[in-house]
């Protein structure tokens, strides 16, 4: 189930909110648990038992790990818990990819392909796997105590707002809120507004732009003129951001409604002055995970420069692979890793010299080129497309204007860069984080209600094409 | 901090969600429904397989698109936003022309390339099909005339023909201009002597002189007032064709009025909150003049939706003793006995009618008859001997239609043989005659 669907907005969410707030506080985790299971089972009924099974196994392994005094056994439990989580991730997410590559390789030597039934990917596996890893490692490191109640742990892993697309919430971030959380009506309203902002980003911006992007990329990329290519990739850059950031907003908003404080996932990433900064602003919870659980254990910065560059590359290759089991994601990760290494090698100093605006523009262009690799799975096509970007062939460029697409794209660009300016940042903070007085709260609430109705219209008007009379 | 207003908003929010849920499930509040027809999406069956393969979730989401709470309001709101800000609609049947004139997409297509491409891209093949149809119609006309049934074609101009100045620029249709059914049929009907009445030149000449709009900015059909005046002429045409006195209709003075169907039928499909056309709509009233010397003929109309406009403006029951409308030769309206052309006693219908009007606008002429000409031809004309069916065969055909058990078995046989019912009736009738002769 996705948030931007009728089933979620009209059935699941109202029913959940009613049950959640009617229920006494001490039972609310059970309400979350029940609804989260329904939420996941509705989208992937085949995998619910797998998710529950691996979660329960992890819970008891961590409990056993914490109980034992023997350091060897502790390590073993920790390793076992991680292997279970990662093993399932590797199997479900990468088995097809690995097999395809093995078959391609052995095919070169004339061997017959190895056959295996296609493995289906459980939704959200990348996110809940990482969450369970944070739990295992943080507990192993002694950063926190393990959960006492199994149901609380399942709530942490399976809580529906962040189950499918994050943010990746570290156990230590919400441990206390799972056990005991404060409810405030102003936070409920803030959460509601945040949810609607996210919904609007997804439906009114990302989906509108995405519809056109799909059409543009379905054409022959080899003959695409450079103007169209740049518009296409700029549009996709906005689509991806507003889609993902919108989903994160919805998750954070729902969390607030329920009394949780999930970490922020985006901080105006396209305002970054370098790719290094970009990764501190884009999918921040993934960045934090990679830093804390991969980069630092590999040695981080506290090693030789060569080793550090190597570490960076490894982190970004794996980060790329985490996004999807395909070579384009690996190349995309390597591409970002390359820029990070180059920035450490001196490019960053160049950015500092040229100043804020040029470096933001360069970083934005680099990110856009990266998204081309990310979006176009066929690498030949991806490089053809990038070739068209830099062919600077505008001879056949014409804007076949879909006013809605271009207006939405401009709005998306404006919002993406608004926080570069002080007034924009102020406005953003006011909408997202500031506690308002009564009038401000009421105004925002009214706007949110209006936007909800509007989003429902947008969600369902597209494709609604009645005709005058039936024809035969 | 005073929490009272926050608590109130929280409660209102929760109440709104409860209303949203209750309305989604039980629909206690009935709202003005959205206009236009669409294929209804059935509620999917929940099975283990459909749930696990995801088809239930997909189908249920699609089903909900058509029945969610306050759908009517939210879709109208969003459509109004699209129209106001972008002059855009998601309705794939409509193209927005210059000065906010609306056109059905098929009319735009016919204008720029021809509807021929819905059949074929080969003009020669299309011409052959049109020619065969015209020739069959000509023979049918001769046979039916012997039974005092007069068949004729009523050709009505499409909006693109009369109001081409506001058509949108062509950005979609790139075939070379093909054969237009209207041009072909007009010439061929003249050559063959097929009965027809052609409103294209009439409307073209009246466009500048008539003191009422022939087409409205927001509708796809001829305007109510134009159709009223046109049908008056059609009745006179029928009088001449059948050599009979049909009742006269008094057409009143035009007057402004609140918009009526179908003058804003395209706008209705936009499902907006506010009207597009702020101009005036004109109407006229009609009254059938009592005339004891006039006959009340039976008129069968076969064709497209342009006949609806006629039916809205005339008391057809006061003029015709029967006036069944075989809509696209499929569903039957204004007939107490039949709902579908698959059920009619075709022989009786053909011979008992005084007039059969093939009523098509220029855009829909490419499917003239919608199979009726072939079907009637199969019943009444023997292709093998190239002559009309004998009276004996027609008599057997009539008996097949009259015996519901026999007719049903023939229908089943037709379905099995993948041929029309009429063809099967004719084949069976001929078989019986052959058997009895041997």
Q: What is the DSSP letter of B33?
A: P
Residues A262 and A390 in one domain: yes
B136 SS3 class: helix
| Distance from the first to the final alpha carbon of chain B | 106
- Residues A268 and A147 occupy one common structural domain: no
Same domain, A244 and A119: no
Give the residue, A415 or B24, on which the prediction is more confident.
Answer: A415
What's the distance, CA A186 to chain centroid? 27
Higher-pLDDT residue of A74 and B200 is B200
Under an 8 A CB cutoff, do B64 and A7 touch?
yes
Q: Which of B100, B95, B123 is nearest to B111 (CA)?
A: B95
Residues counted in chain A? 472
Q: Residue with structure tokens 């109309």?
A: B301
- Six-digit token string for A211: 């519809």
State which H helix or E strand residue B154 sits in.
Answer: strand B150-156
> Chain B closest CA to A127's CA: distance in Å?
21
B181/B369 Cα distance (integer angstroms)? 12
Q: What pLDDT does B261 receive?
A: 86
Q: How far apart are CA B340 and CA B327, in angstroms?
A: 9
Q: Give A37-51 as a DSSP string.
A: HHHHHHH-GGGHHHH
With CB atoms and an 8 Å threshold, state whether B90 touches A464: yes
Average pLDDT, stretch B35-45? 81
Which amino acids of A are annotated catalytic? 323
A436 has a pLDDT exceeding 80: no
Closest CA of chain B from A253, distance in Å: 14
Q: How many alpha carbons fall within 13 Å on the CB side of residue A230?
A: 14
- A453/B contact by beta carbon, under 8 A: yes
Q: Do A77 and A217 reside in the same domain of the chain?
A: no
Specify the number of domains making up chain A: 2
The mean pLDDT value for A416-435 works out to 87
Residue A344 inside a domain? The answer is no
DSSP strands (E only) in A308-360: none
Q: Is residue A441 part of a domain?
A: no
Name the pLDDT band for B427 (thresholds 50, 70, 90): very high
pLDDT range class, residue B27, cuts 50, 70, 90: confident
Which residue, A181, A201, A222, sits at the end of a domain?
Answer: A181
Element (H, E) at B388: strand B387-388
Residues A210 and A84 occupy one common structural domain: no
Looking at chain A from residue 396 to 415, which residues have their Cβ under 8 Å from any Cβ of chain B?
400, 402-404, 407
In a domain, A305, yes or no: no
The three-state secondary structure class of B238 is helix
- Domain boundaries along the sequence of chain B: 8-68, 100-384, 389-438
Residue A471, pLDDT above cutoff 50 = no
- Where do we find the tokens 């494709």? A463
Each residue of B120-138: b (16+ CB within 10 Å) or e?
Answer: eeeeeebeebbeebbebbb
- Per-residue pLDDT for B1 more than 70? no
Distance CA(B435)–CA(B438), nearest Å, equals 5
Residues A262 and A237 both lie in one domain: yes
**Confidence (pLDDT) at A407:** 94
Q: Which two tokens stand for residue A47?
A: 């995998």
Rounded to 5, what percent of chain A is helix, strand, coil? 75, 0, 25
Q: How far apart are CA A449 and CA A446, in angstroms?
A: 5
Residue contacts between A and B (CB atoms, under 8 Å): 162
Cβ contact, residue pair B87, A457, below 8 Å: no
Any domain includes A204: yes
Q: Residues A38, A80: one domain? A: yes
**Non-local CB neighbours of B158 within 8 Å, separated by 6+ positions:** B107, B110, B361, B362, B363
Q: Is B295 helix (H, G, I), strand (E, B) or coil?
A: strand
Q: Are residues A151 and A217 in the same domain?
A: no
Given a contact cutoff of 8 angstroms between Cβ atoms, the answer to whether B244 and B354 are in contact is yes
Of A21, A400, A460, the CB nearest to B14: A21
Indicate whether A440 pLDDT > 50: yes
CA dist A407 to A227, A256, B100, Å?
A: 17, 32, 20
Residues A84 and A199 grouped into a single domain:
no
Instruction: For residues A174 and A73, state if they share a domain.
Output: yes
Out of A410, A428, A446, a domain closes at A428
ipTM of the complex: 0.81
Q: Does A42 touch chain B (CB under 8 A)?
A: yes
The whole-number average pLDDT for the span A337-363 is: 92
* Within-domain flag for A320: no
| Residue-range definition of the domain harbouring residue A422 | 187-273+355-428
**Domain-located, residue A107:** yes
Q: Are residues A258 and A389 in the same domain?
A: yes
- Provide the b/e sequence for A73-85 (b: ≥16 CB within 10 Å): ebeebbebbbebb
Of A378 and B3, the structure prediction assigns the larger pLDDT to A378
Domain boundary, last residue among A151, A181, A211: A181
Task: Give the 3-state secondary structure of residue B196.
Answer: strand
The answer as to whether A292 is a domain residue is no
Query: Using an 8 Å Cβ cutoff, are A434 and B61 in contact?
Result: no
pLDDT tens digits for range B197-233: 999 999 999 998 998 999 999 999 999 999 999 999 9
Check if A46 contacts B (Cβ < 8 Å).
Answer: yes
Nearest to A6 among B10, B65, B90 (CB): B65
What is the arithmetic mean of pLDDT over A372-392?
A: 91
pLDDT of residue A466: 63
Cα–Cα dist A100/A116, whole Å? 10
Distance CA B167, CA B158 (A): 12
Contact indicator for A244, A283 with CB cutoff of 8 Å: yes
- The per-residue pLDDT for A470 is 53
Evaluate whether residue A247 is within a structural domain: yes
Is there a single domain that holds both residue A240 and residue A158? no
Question: What is the value of pTM for the model shown?
Answer: 0.82
């Amino acid at each position: 189930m996705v948030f931007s669907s009728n089933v979620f907005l009209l059935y699941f969410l109202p029913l959940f909110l009613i049950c959640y707030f009617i229920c006494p506080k001490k039972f609310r985790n059970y309400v979350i648990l029940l609804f989260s299971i329904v939420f996941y089972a509705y989208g992937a009924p085949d995998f619910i038992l797998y998710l529950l099974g691996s979660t329960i196994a992890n819970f008891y392994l961590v409990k056993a790990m914490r109980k034992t005094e023997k350091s060897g056994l502790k390590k073993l439990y920790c390793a076992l818990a991680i292997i279970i989580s990662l093993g399932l991730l590797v199997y479900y997410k990468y088995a097809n990819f690995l097999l395809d590559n093995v078959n391609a390789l052995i095919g070169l030597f004339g061997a017959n392909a190895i056959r295996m039934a296609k493995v289906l990917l459980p939704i959200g596996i990348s996110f809940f796997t990482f969450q369970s890893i944070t739990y295992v490692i943080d507990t192993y490191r002694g950063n926190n105590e393990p959960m006492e109640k199994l149901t609380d742990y399942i709530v942490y892993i399976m809580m529906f707002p962040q189950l499918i697309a994050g943010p990746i919430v570290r156990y230590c971030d919400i441990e206390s809120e799972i056990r005991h959380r404060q409810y405030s009506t102003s936070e409920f309203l803030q959460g509601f507004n945040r949810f609607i902002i996210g919904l609007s980003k997804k439906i009114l911006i990302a989906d509108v732009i995405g519809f056109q992007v799909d059409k543009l990329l379905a054409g022959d990329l080899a003959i695409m003129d450079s103007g169209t290519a740049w518009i296409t990739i700029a549009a996709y850059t906005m689509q991806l951001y507003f889609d993902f950031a919108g989903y994160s907003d919805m998750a954070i908003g729902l969390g607030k409604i329920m009394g949780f404080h999930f970490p922020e996932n985006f901080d105006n990433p396209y305002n970054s002055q370098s790719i290094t900064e970009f990764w501190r602003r884009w999918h921040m919870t993934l960045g934090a995970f990679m830093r804390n659980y991969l980069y630092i254990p590999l040695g981080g910065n506290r090693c030789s420069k060569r080793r550090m560059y190597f570490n960076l590359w490894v982190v970004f290759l794996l980060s790329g692979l985490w996004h999807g089991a395909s070579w384009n994601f690996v190349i995309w990760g390597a591409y970002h890793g390359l820029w990070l290494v180059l920035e450490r090698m001196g490019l960053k100093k160049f950015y500092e010299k040229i100043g804020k605006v040029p470096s933001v523009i360069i970083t934005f262009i680099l990110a856009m080129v990266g998204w081309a690799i990310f979006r176009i799975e066929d690498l030949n096509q991806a490089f053809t497309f990038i070739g068209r970007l830099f062919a600077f062939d505008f001879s056949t460029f014409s804007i076949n204007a879909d006013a809605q697409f271009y207006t939405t794209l401009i709005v998306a660009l404006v919002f993406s860069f608004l926080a570069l300016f002080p007034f924009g940042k102020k406005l953003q903070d006011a909408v997202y984080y500031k506690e308002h007085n009564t009038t401000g709260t009421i105004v925002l609430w009214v706007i949110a209600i209006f936007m909800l109705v509007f989003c429902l219209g947008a969600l369902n008007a597209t494709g609604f094409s009645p005709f005058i009379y039936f024809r035969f | 901090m005073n929490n009272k207003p926050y608590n109130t908003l929280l409660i209102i929010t929760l109440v709104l969600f409860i209303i949203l849920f209750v309305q989604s499930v039980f629909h206690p509040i009935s709202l003005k429904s959205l206009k236009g027809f669409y294929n209804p999406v059935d509620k999917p069956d929940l099975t283990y397989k459909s749930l696990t393969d995801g088809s239930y979730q997909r189908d249920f989401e699609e089903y909900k698109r058509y029945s969610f709470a306050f759908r009517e309001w939210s879709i109208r709101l969003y459509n109004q936003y699209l129209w106001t800000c972008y002059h855009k609609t998601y309705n794939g049947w409509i193209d927005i022309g210059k000065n906010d004139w609306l056109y059905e997409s098929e009319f735009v297509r016919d204008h720029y390339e021809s509807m021929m491409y819905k059949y074929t891209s080969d003009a020669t093949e299309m011409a052959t099909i049109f020619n065969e149809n015209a020739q069959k119609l000509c023979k049918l006309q001769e046979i039916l005339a012997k039974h005092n049934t007069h068949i004729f074609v009523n050709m009505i101009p499409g909006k693109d023909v009369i109001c081409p100045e506001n058509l949108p620029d062509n950005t979609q249709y790139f075939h070379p201009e093909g054969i237009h059914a209207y041009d072909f049929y007009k010439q061929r009907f003249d050559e063959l002597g097929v009965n027809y009445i052609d409103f294209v030149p009439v409307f073209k000449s009246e466009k500048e002189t008539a003191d009422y709009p022939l087409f409205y900015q927001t509708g796809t059909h001829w305007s109510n007032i134009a159709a009223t005046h046109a049908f008056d002429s059609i009745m006179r045409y029928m009088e001449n064709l059948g050599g009979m006195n049909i009742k006269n209709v008094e057409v009143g003075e035009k007057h402004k009025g609140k918009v009526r169907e179908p003058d804003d039928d395209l706008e209705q499909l936009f499902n907006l909150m506010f009207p597009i056309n702020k101009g005036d709509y004109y109407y006229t009233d009609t009254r059938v003049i009592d005339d004891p010397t006039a006959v009340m003929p039976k008129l069968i109309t076969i064709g497209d939706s342009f006949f609806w406009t006629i039916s809205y403006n005339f008391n057809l029951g006061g003029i015709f003793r029967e006036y069944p409308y075989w809509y696209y030769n499929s569903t039957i309206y204004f007939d107490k006995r039949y709902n579908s052309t698959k059920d009619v006693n075709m022989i009786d219908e053909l011979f008992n009618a005084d007039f059969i009007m093939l009523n098509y606008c220029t855009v829909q002429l490419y499917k003239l008859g919608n199979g009726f000409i072939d079907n009637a031809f199969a019943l009444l004309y023997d292709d093998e001997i190239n002559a009309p069916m004998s009276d004996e065969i027609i008599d057997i055909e009539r008996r097949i239609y009259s015996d519901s058990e026999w007719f049903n078995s023939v229908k089943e046989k037709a379905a099995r043989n993948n041929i029309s019912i009429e063809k099967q009736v004719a084949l069976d009738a001929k078989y019986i005659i052959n058997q009895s002769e041997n």
